[in-house]
Copies of this chain bind each other. A is one copy, B any other.
Amino acid sequence: MKLATLKQGGRDGTLVVVSRDLALCQPVPAIAATLQAALDDWTRAAPELQAVYDSLNGGGTAANRHAIAFDPAQCHSPLPRAYQWADGSAYINHVELVRRARGAELPESFYTDPLMYQGGSDSFIGPRDAVIAEEAWGIDFEAEVAVVTGDVPLGASPEAAAQAIRLVMLVNDVSLRNLIPNELAKGFGFFQSKPASAFSPVAVTPDELGGDWHEARLHRPLEVAYNGEPFGRPNAGVDMTFDFGQLIAHAAKTRELEAGTIIGSGTVSNKQGDLWGSSIANGGVGYCCIAEVRMYETIAAGKPTTGFMRAGDTVRIEMRDAAGHSIFGYIENKVALPAR
């Protein structure tokens, strides 16, 4: 099924069930007022939400009487605020490029021990909201896949962890590149360099993805457009060194995870043989962040030439099924400067 959160009814918004074709939606206050409430009580709520979903898709009439037109522009992120947002770096190609661009080797352990950072989750922006940031901070997007988990016990195996995946969605993990070097040099990881992220209007259950979801990976191209031009379409199921079960198990190694935890894949990145052939213009699958283009430029020409985002620049992130239909609706964030 497909779920979304409208920007109304309080800080956590209003949960709606969305029809498969993203045309209709329906608030479900009698089942769960918010997505977090549904996740808190998933065993009870999920079948009730599924019944509404089936009805919305044309299988029934009772629910349809309450259906309204679905407008993704009215959506907040499915969880407008969450108790946890932890982002992995499962596409090692992305990590390898970062290192290669600065002449460093990739430690062997990076292929067995996932990189993951604890992100801020108290106040996400909506899928169509502006990214508010100073240009000097080096504003970049990172297009990723993310999952929402149920409760996961401490020490869960990757297999058990994969079973705890409740929902799948897309994310724009906004990054402030010019703040990263100093911040990581301090040794405590990202903080100011990772402002509020945006998630896709719609979150879907894994069963909704059919054969595109297997081995705890989502096997579809992730489409990124930058200022209206195609920028990337790598397949999220390719070159993902760690699957979502492994990422969740990593997070749960020393503590239990509570329902509503969001785990990200890291920037989707496909390994491509020829550096210059990797952009979409050159027939490649392109990139999911500006930093990666700059790494290619650095490796090939000694320095980056593509700049980061400026005020008014827009990134759009979307994924379509095999028939060409949008699965999650699209994220579209435009950069705006902070009020002074």
Which stretch of A115-123, A269-277, A286-294 is in the interface?
A: A115-123
A186 CB contact (under 8 Å) in B82, B84, B115:
B115
Q: Is A59 an interface residue (CB 8 A)?
A: no
Q: How far is the CB of A113 from chain B (nearest CB, A)?
A: 8
Segment of A218-226, A251-259, A302-310 in the binding face: A251-259
Quick check: B122 and A260 within 8 Å, CB to CB? yes
Chain A 104-128 interface residues, beta-carbon cutoff 8 Å to B? 110, 113, 115-123
Residues of A66-99 at the interface with B, using a CB-CB cut-off of 8 Å, are 81-84, 86, 89
Number of copies: 2
Could you say which of A83, A256, A258 has the most chain B C-beta atoms within 10 Å of its C-beta? A83
- In the complex, identify which listed stretch (A25-33, A189-197, A208-216) lies at the interface while the others stay far away: A189-197
Nearest-CB residue, chain B, relative to A187: B184
A16 partner residues in chain B, CB cutoff 8 A: none
A281 interface residue (CB < 8 Å to B):
no
Cβ of A155 under 8 Å from chain B: yes
Contact B255–A195 (Cβ < 8 Å)? yes
Spell out A's residues near B (CB within 8 Å): 10-11, 40, 81-84, 86, 89, 110, 113, 115-123, 132-133, 137, 154-155, 176, 179, 184, 186-193, 195-196, 250-251, 253-258, 260-261, 338
